[in-house]
Amino acid sequence: MAAAPQGISRVDALQNLLTDLFATPVAVDRWERVAPWTVARARLRSTTGLPRSVVVKWVPDGQRDARPAPWRLRTELAALRFLGEDLGTALAPHVIAADTAAGFLVLEDLAPRVALDQLLRQDGVADHGDRLTAFARARGALGAATAGGAEAYYARRAELGPVDAAADITGRFAPLREEAIRRTAALGAPLTDRAERELAASLEELENPGPFLALSNGDAEANNVLLHATGPADARLIDFEFAGYTHALTDAVCLYVPGPAWLNVGDPAATGAADHYRRALALGIPEAEDDRRYGDGLAAACMAWALVRLQRVALLDARSPGDHSRLQLIATLEAAAHTADTHRSLPHLTAWMRRAAAMLRRRWPDADQDFADPTRFPPYCARR
């Protein structure tokens, strides 16, 4: 095992932390690394009411003096304590202990829950429709529970070190307008004036979310929700290292548009996931019941995500024919366009995105395939 600070093993550091915190001896009987992440499950022996096992996350060795890794650990600590202690939700694991100086967190062990993406890959959507619904509800519930709480969250986060709230809101979309204009021109499909104005309006919506400002874990994908494989579908969200307040509907994009793991995600309206997400969100953000506001926000978030992914064209040009990433990019553009069209929003940007997808189909004949064919591309068909 790699050495912790001051030459103490990570197991010893954990035992010392819990022994001091609970004023009774705590021993680690077994340490199970969850590769490839800096995460482990520790089996405990104690006379206290501590659980039999906990999950430990730590800053990778060699990165303790680099800004990003400790910053992510402090962000996760603040977000989880905000959700559990300040808001009293059960949406995420509880923090049992933390040592930010040593660079590790001790969290509630959510086993035997497993990641939703694992279940979807293993069994398909048909066997886990209720778990997909629970995932959608949990994402909506996170937005509902945290809406209006930005000041309280950032006060807690600031206690652990500097944080840029404005950067959390804009996130990866901050440079998107200039990048999108440049890259679409290079693609040979420059944005029309009307499409460019709609893009500007979309980014304005995302950067000024108004009542839709809510906490996100920063990676709203099916690998970051844990559920029981059978029985009640009670979802728990994990991985809050990139948490921050942003437009709530960016968390709904994963239901409509493929994320990095998938070739498609199916039709959330047909599965009911879309309605479950929206109803859960509206419990804390009543404006989500307004079709126009909701549709415009969702379309903006989906379009922005698709444009972020479009930046990969040059990389995918160098890939071999048949590479699934080419299929995925076309599916992403078309899914975002379909979502905007369904909500009658951003017509000119939607038309442009369909043209861009058509150009990529011609550019990559190997990727000119029918994503609507459920025999070839069922919902949550994984990208190889």
Look at the block and give the residue holding tokens 């969290």.
Answer: 107
Domain ranges of the chain: 5-108, 114-367
The sign of the CA dihedral 196, 201, 207, 209 is negative
Phi-psi region of 344 (alpha: psi -120 to 50; beta: other; left: phi over 0): left
Q: What is the pLDDT of residues 230-277, one digit of tens each?
A: 888 899 999 999 999 999 999 999 999 999 999 999 999 998 999 999
- Cβ count within 10 A of residue 94: 13
**Mean pLDDT, range 169-179, rounded to an integer:** 80
Q: Is it true that domain 114-367 has CATH number 3.90.1200.10?
A: yes
pTM (2 d.p.)? 0.94
| Annotation: CATH topology of 5-108 | Phosphorylase Kinase; domain 1 (3.30.200)
Nearest CA to 73 out of 105, 95, 41 is that of 105
Residue 182 tokens, joined:
């440049």
> Given pLDDT bands bounded at 50, 70 and 90, which one contains residue 7?
very low
Q: Is the pLDDT at 166 greater than 80, yes or no?
A: yes
Under 8 Å between Cβ of 219 and 126: no
Single-letter amino acid, residue 186: A
Q: How many degrees, rounded to 5, is the angle at CA 246 between CA 60 and CA 167?
A: 60
Check: CB of residue 263 under 8 Å from CB of residue 384. no
- Rounded CA-CA distance 236/121 in Å is 19
Identify the DSSP state of 231. S
Which range among 91-95, 144-148, 165-169 shows the weakest confidence by mean pLDDT?
165-169
Is the pLDDT confidence value at 5 over 60?
no
Is it the case that residue 2 has pLDDT exceeding 70? no
CA dist., res. 127 & res. 141, Å (int): 23
**Exposure of 291 by Cβ count < 10 A (0-12 exposed, 13-18 middle, 19+ buried)?**
exposed
Phi, psi for residue 174 in degrees, rounded to 5? -55, -50
Q: pLDDT band at 65, cuts 50/70/90? A: low
CA–CA distances in Å: residue 122 to residues 64, 118, 136, 182, 382: 37, 6, 20, 40, 10
β pairing state of 114-115 and 225-227: antiparallel
Number of H helices, E strands in the chain: 15, 10
Tell me what pLDDT residue 315 has.
93
Residues in the chain: 384
Tokens representing 196 are 């460019």
Please determine, for residue 39, whether its predicted confidence score (pLDDT) is greater than 90: yes
Count of beta carbons in the 10 Å neighbourhood of residue 233? 18
pLDDT band at 182 (very low <50, low <70, confident <90, very high): confident
What 27-36 contacts at long range (C-beta under 8 Å, 24+ apart), as own/partner pairs, is: 31/1
Burial of 68 (0-12, 13-18, 19+ CB in 10 A): exposed
Q: Could you read off the pLDDT of 80-115 as tens digits, one per residue?
A: 999 999 999 999 999 999 999 889 999 999 999 999
pLDDT at 20 over 70: yes
Average pLDDT over residues 142-160: 97
Rounded to an integer, what distance in angstroms lies between the CA atom of residue 59 and that of residue 205? 35
Same fold, 5-108 and 114-367: no
| Diameter of the chain measured on Cα atoms | 69
Segment 42-62 shows an average pLDDT of 87
DSSP assignment, residue 61? T
- Give me the sign of the Cα torsion angle 188, 192, 196, 202: negative
Taken in order 265, 266, 271, 273, is the CA torsion positive or negative? positive
Q: Which residue has the tokens 């840029």?
A: 164
37, two tokens: 């992440």
